[in-house]
Amino acid sequence: MNLLQYCSIFVLIVVSANCKNVPSVEEVCSKLLSKDLKKEISSYKDVTNEIIKYVREGEFKGVTYDELAKFVDTFGPRPSGSQELEDSIDYMIEITKKEGIHDIVTEELEVPHWVRGEEKITMLEPRTKDIALLGLGKSVSTPTEGITAEVVVIEDFTELETKSVEGKIVVYVPVFTTYSDTVPYRSQGAARAAERGAVASLVRSITPFSINSPHTGSQYYEDDVTKIPTAAISLEDADMIKRLYERGEKVVLNVKMTSTLDTKISRNTLVDLKGSGNPEKLVIVSGHIDSWDVGQGAMDDGGGLFISWAAPVVLKRLNLIPKRTIRAIFWTTEELGLVGAYDYEERHRAENGNINFIMESDEGTFSPTGLEVSGNQMARCIVGEVLKLFKSINASTLVEKGEYASVGSDIGVLTKTGIPGAGLLNENEKYFWFHHTEGDTMNVESPEELDLGTAFWTAAAYVIADLSIDIPR
Amino acid sequence: MNLLQYCSIFVLIVVSANCKNVPSVEEVCSKLLSKDLKKEISSYKDVTNEIIKYVREGEFKGVTYDELAKFVDTFGPRPSGSQELEDSIDYMIEITKKEGIHDIVTEELEVPHWVRGEEKITMLEPRTKDIALLGLGKSVSTPTEGITAEVVVIEDFTELETKSVEGKIVVYVPVFTTYSDTVPYRSQGAARAAERGAVASLVRSITPFSINSPHTGSQYYEDDVTKIPTAAISLEDADMIKRLYERGEKVVLNVKMTSTLDTKISRNTLVDLKGSGNPEKLVIVSGHIDSWDVGQGAMDDGGGLFISWAAPVVLKRLNLIPKRTIRAIFWTTEELGLVGAYDYEERHRAENGNINFIMESDEGTFSPTGLEVSGNQMARCIVGEVLKLFKSINASTLVEKGEYASVGSDIGVLTKTGIPGAGLLNENEKYFWFHHTEGDTMNVESPEELDLGTAFWTAAAYVIADLSIDIPR
């Protein structure tokens, strides 16, 4: 049970009780963690500082940024099923081997290969104007001449039920609150509009900020519903259409989109720095190597990929070999449905009990602030204690989620089975400004912040992988 | 002499003197302004507050935003020489007449009509990638097949002198410091690169921030130099090209651009609210009605246009007729070289002595903070005293420029001849994020901020137009 649940239950029992009476994390953990364990964890202070110093001031200073820049400049975006993705996987293996790490395995799997073609939306009435768009993942094509129809503006799914959209183009205009609250209009918008007879579905991009910059992303058709073309449009164009519509103007759009969808073979990549004591036990650090087909996938998830690549590399260079194996995983095809992660979970199911802890960075690699942890109370307390080692770089924040909770995109597939794990917390307030846009490039990244990320990620994984006890389930 | 000059001269004479010894604006002005004049100005407190209340809480609340939104949604961008610009001028006249203001004159003039055609830049080496671009104003076309050449990256004009760019595409990558310091790479880049034998010239967009959003703008060929095609590219693509170049990679681009250039007739629009005492004397409020051909010209300069439109409208509605005439000018063709402003200055030269004060808003209509004033010390002191009336809305900042200084784009043409004037100061820290991009839309504007702008602009113009004394030259 995590603290949040604890608090809620408490309130239910003693109606007017103040949550201040609920024991703090400190109080809970001070009872759970033995003095010896705390002492053991704090004894990692020196090695933690050694890693931080090496990455921020030593030979590794700037390496994460430079390597990431070279990578994205060489391959550009790496969509699922593309040759660029496969070439970039080969490249990652090559640069890892150059570091003297040869325990590298790739695991082949079938992945969707959706290729965006020509895309154009033209407002025909009340005046002619191009609309800024990006088709959504796996969207079907329109007929060659496009789909021309009148717009119905929809604020939320409740309104969808009350309006006639038969033969119309639905334009969803939800105002961004949080990503998880707003994204259903992107992921389910087409299916739900089609159910009501719409001929195409557009969604105001899922972002709080825009410079006329549309955001692509995944969406899911339903088996028993007609597949209609679907795209995200910019905040600016969505809001303009909404204003025109609310003034009673008839808004007519022509939507032209082409795409192809087939399957290809791609690969998850597993890089092992074998443990010195219990090599069969794993502490996994990970990020996904695939990206959307726009921008360069530098932020989503080049940064997460490279700090995870850096973890075994830095430890190898410093000759710091923890008891358990550090495994870096470069997930394939996260963007089109966590395909790599599902394959890994299934393929390794018999041995996943050996995963001691699994980490992923997929929400930005701005300055790290701590970890969001999924696991039981004891697991969370141990990680919280480890995080105290990172006060000097302001990365000691522990956000607690319960056992089986998702704390990352790919690793959610594994933490949901009860494996304890963590997602990187970082100063990612602007993450969704760039997410899935042409603006996801190196300009979002900073050498200093990536160094902090690498230092934190490497040292945290090292300590957890070297502790005398396993992270409990 | 303005205070800045005063301070510098003082330092020259008494080498180690501290500038604290220089009299403050308050001290200087308290000697210049008579007690009676100060009393007179402060007596406008009530009428100022009446205007502010009417615009922020009364019948005019939200009107500026709504009217601006209707305007840009109806006409979209309004480039020099376009039919949309002329239609939008007719519309402004129509909505002004609806307010019962009929003293409206339009003055025809010849303006450039540059029309952007197809634009595409493709990086061919070291890999294939589309580059985000916007051709610069009056850029010539490339041959149909485009120009294919190797890139030379240039950091500044000094470096241009040291590198061989003959037959190459120059990519200027100046890092944005201030607009005025950085913009020469856009405005003079092509001419200077052509002088050195380059075949095309690209510039990192003149902005501190980007979501892969290129910024167009004006540029000037020189008569004796070959006209080469020129465009702005996004920060992201410019920085990627720079990184590749610095790694020693050969970067080859294909630049395809088409455009046409001819001349058309456009119009400045002069709207007069005739003064009750000295109608021949003018206090001018202004903004430009033309825009670039991208975005909607909501910020540049729809906001300035509409707060200037609102000034006589609000005064008429409140039946507040000042002694001098309030003239709102909607300048045409600011973006392609201040063509409207130059025409006005020349056409009215004989009577420009009657311009008591001239104001322009062309750097955003975010929350107003005060005025940047061009004029002699007495003029600046009077305006500074007027600004004290706006403490309640935090718009009392006086920034002093000397006589003949430019404090606005169009009005610079007139203040440079010695006419005192002012540009609107406002919280425009993000102005250059959107300037000349597809993101210059209503999403940048806010109803509350536009109300503040209209209230401040109207009341400040009213007080200056009604004072017992002229603003001195």
Chain segment B266-291, per-residue pLDDT in tens: 999 999 999 999 999 999 999 999 99
Q: Is B236 close to A443, i.e. CB distance below 8 A? A: yes
Q: With respect to residue B18, please indicate whether it lies within any of the assigned structural domains.
A: no
Q: Which of A215, A230, A260 is where one domain is finished?
A: A260
Give the active site residues of B.
Answer: 334
pLDDT for residue B14 is more than 80 = no
d(CA A194, CA B196): 59
Q: What is the pLDDT of residue A1?
A: 35
Q: With respect to residue A46, please indicate whether it lies within any of the assigned structural domains.
A: yes
**B247 to chain A nearest CA, in Å?**
9
Cβ atoms < 10 Å from Cβ of B186: 28
Q: With respect to residue A50, please indicate whether it lies within any of the assigned structural domains.
A: yes
**B411 to chain A nearest CA, in Å?**
29
Query: Which chain B residues have any C-beta within 8 angstroms of a chain A C-beta?
Result: 69-70, 73-76, 126-127, 129, 132, 210-213, 235-236, 239-240, 243-244, 247, 295-296, 433-434, 437-439, 441-443
Q: With respect to residue B96, please indicate whether it lies within any of the assigned structural domains.
A: yes
- Tokens 């993450």 belong to A431
Show Cβ contacts of residue B197 under 8 Å, excluding neighbours closer than 6 positions: B165, B166, B167, B168
* For A445, nearest residue in chain B (alpha carbons): B236
Q: What does the DSSP assignment read for A182-193?
A: HTHHHHSHHHHH
d(CA A432, CA A439): 11
How far does CA B239 lie from the centroid of its chain? 28
Q: What is the pLDDT of residue B33?
A: 96
Please choose, from the candidates A245, A343, A232, A379, the residue with its C-alpha nearest in 3D space to the C-alpha of residue A292: A232
Of B212, B244, B437, the CB nearest to A439: B212
- Spell out which residues of chain A touch residue B69, defining contact as CB-CB under 8 Å: 243
Number of C-alpha atoms within 13 angstroms, CB side, residue B155?
7
- Spell out which residues of chain B touch residue A211, defining contact as CB-CB under 8 Å: 210-211, 213, 433-434, 437-439
- Which helix (H) or strand (E) segment is B73 a member of? helix B63-75
- Tokens 């087409």 belong to A190
| 3 state SS of A100 | coil
Query: Which chain A residues have any C-beta within 8 angstroms of a chain B C-beta?
Result: 69-70, 73-76, 126-127, 129, 132, 210-213, 235-236, 239-240, 243-244, 247, 295-296, 433-434, 437-439, 441-443
Are A42 and A177 within one domain? no
Q: Give bridge partners of residue A454 from the DSSP assignment.
A: none
Whether the complex's predicted ipTM surpasses the cut of 0.85: yes
d(CA A457, CA A359): 9
Q: With respect to residue B16, please indicate whether it lies within any of the assigned structural domains.
A: no
Q: Is B70 close to A247, i.e. CB distance below 8 A? A: yes
- Report the number of distinct structural domains present in chain A: 2
> Of B213, B243, B443, which to mutate for an interface test with A (greatest number of A Cβ within 10 Å)?
B443
Are A337 and A193 within one domain? no
Are B295 and B362 within one domain? yes
- Tokens 């996943």 belong to A352
Q: Is B211 close to A434, i.e. CB distance below 8 A? A: yes
Q: Is A240 close to B433, i.e. CB distance below 8 A? A: no
* Contact between B449 and B430 (Cβ < 8 Å): no
Are B311 and B168 within one domain? no
pLDDT for residue B424 is more than 70 = yes
| 3 state SS of A285 | strand
Average pLDDT, chain B: 95
Q: What is the pLDDT of residue B17?
A: 41
Of B211, B239, B438, the CB nearest to A442: B239
Query: Would you put residue B417 in left (φ > 0), alpha (ψ -120 to 50) or beta?
Result: alpha
| Beta strands B147-154; B133-135: pairing state | unpaired
**A205 to chain B nearest CA, in Å?**
13
d(CA B448, CA B445): 9
Go through B149-160 and write b for each residue having 16 or more CB atoms within 10 A of its CB, e for each that does not: bbbbbbeeeeeb
Number of C-alpha atoms within 13 angstroms, CB side, residue B401?
20
Q: What is the dihedral of CA B251, B254, B258, B259, to 10 degrees?
A: 10
Q: Which of A260, A283, A303 is where one domain is finished?
A: A260
Helix and strand numbers, DSSP H then E, in chain A: 17, 14
Give the active site residues of A.
Answer: 334
Cβ atoms < 10 Å from Cβ of B325: 24
Are A90 and A137 within one domain? no
Q: With respect to residue A266, please indicate whether it lies within any of the assigned structural domains.
A: no
| 3 state SS of A119 | strand
* Contact between B354 and B419 (Cβ < 8 Å): no
Q: How many residues does chain A have?
A: 473
Q: What is the pLDDT of residues B42-74, one digit of tens each?
A: 999 999 999 999 999 999 999 999 999 999 999
Say what percent of chain B tops pLDDT 90: 94
- Spell out which residues of chain A touch residue B243, defining contact as CB-CB under 8 Å: 69, 73, 442
Q: What is the pLDDT of residue A20?
A: 56
Q: What is the pLDDT of residue B16?
A: 38
* For B295, nearest residue in chain A (alpha carbons): A212
- Spell out which residues of chain A touch residue B127, defining contact as CB-CB under 8 Å: 74-76
Are B125 and B93 within one domain? no
Q: Is B240 close to A438, i.e. CB distance below 8 A? A: no
Number of C-alpha atoms within 13 angstroms, CB side, residue A240?
33
- Spell out which residues of chain A touch residue B437, defining contact as CB-CB under 8 Å: 211-212
Least confident of A192-201, B21-30, B34-43, B332-341: B21-30
* Contact between A213 and A131 (Cβ < 8 Å): no
d(CA A133, CA A143): 18
- Record the tokens describing residue B36, joined without a space: 């009676």
> Of A212, A237, A436, which to mutate for an interface test with B (greatest number of B Cβ within 10 Å)?
A212
d(CA B31, CA B61): 40
- Spell out which residues of chain A touch residue B238, defining contact as CB-CB under 8 Å: none
- Spell out which residues of chain B touch residue A132, defining contact as CB-CB under 8 Å: 438
Confidence of residue B10 (pLDDT cuts 50, 70, 90): very low
Q: Is B212 close to A74, i.e. CB distance below 8 A? A: no
Are A93 and A191 within one domain? no
Q: What is the pLDDT of residue A25?
A: 83
- Record the tokens describing residue A352, joined without a space: 């996943």
Of A75, A240, A439, the CB nearest to B236: A439
Q: With respect to residue B267, please indicate whether it lies within any of the assigned structural domains.
A: no
* Contact between B326 and B465 (Cβ < 8 Å): yes
Of A247, A439, A442, the CB nearest to B240: A442
**B66 to chain A nearest CA, in Å?**
10
Please choose, from the candidates B89, B146, B84, B91, the residue with its C-alpha nearest in 3D space to the C-alpha of residue B117: B146
d(CA B436, CA B297): 8
Residues in chain A predicted with pLDDT less than 50, given as ranges, are: 1-19
Are B421 and B285 within one domain? yes
**A295 to chain B nearest CA, in Å?**
8
Omega of the bond leading into A301 within 30 degrees of 0 (cis): yes
- Spell out which residues of chain A touch residue B67, defining contact as CB-CB under 8 Å: none
**B209 to chain A nearest CA, in Å?**
9
Are A231 and A91 within one domain? no
**Burial group, residue B329, by CB count within 10 angstroms (0-12, 13-18, 19+):** buried
pLDDT for residue B6 is more than 90 = no
Are A154 and A288 within one domain? no
d(CA A199, CA A196): 9
Q: Which of B259, B287, B312 is where one domain is finished?
A: B259
| Beta strands B230-233; B200-204: pairing state | parallel
* Contact between A72 and A296 (Cβ < 8 Å): yes
CATH number at residue B98: 3.40.630.10
Q: What is the pLDDT of residue B25?
A: 83
Q: Which domain holds residue A237?
A: 113-260
Are B395 and B456 within one domain? yes
Confidence of residue B20 (pLDDT cuts 50, 70, 90): low
Q: Is B439 close to A73, i.e. CB distance below 8 A? A: no
CATH number at residue A238: 3.50.30.30
- Spell out which residues of chain B touch residue A439, defining contact as CB-CB under 8 Å: 210-213, 236
- Spell out which residues of chain B touch residue A441, defining contact as CB-CB under 8 Å: 212, 236, 239-240
Are A252 and A280 within one domain? no
* For A247, nearest residue in chain B (alpha carbons): B70
How many CB pairs below 8 Å do chains A and B form together?
A: 84
* For B439, nearest residue in chain A (alpha carbons): A211
> Of B122, B211, B233, which to mutate for an interface test with A (greatest number of A Cβ within 10 Å)?
B211
| 3 state SS of A214 | coil
Q: With respect to residue B173, please indicate whether it lies within any of the assigned structural domains.
A: yes
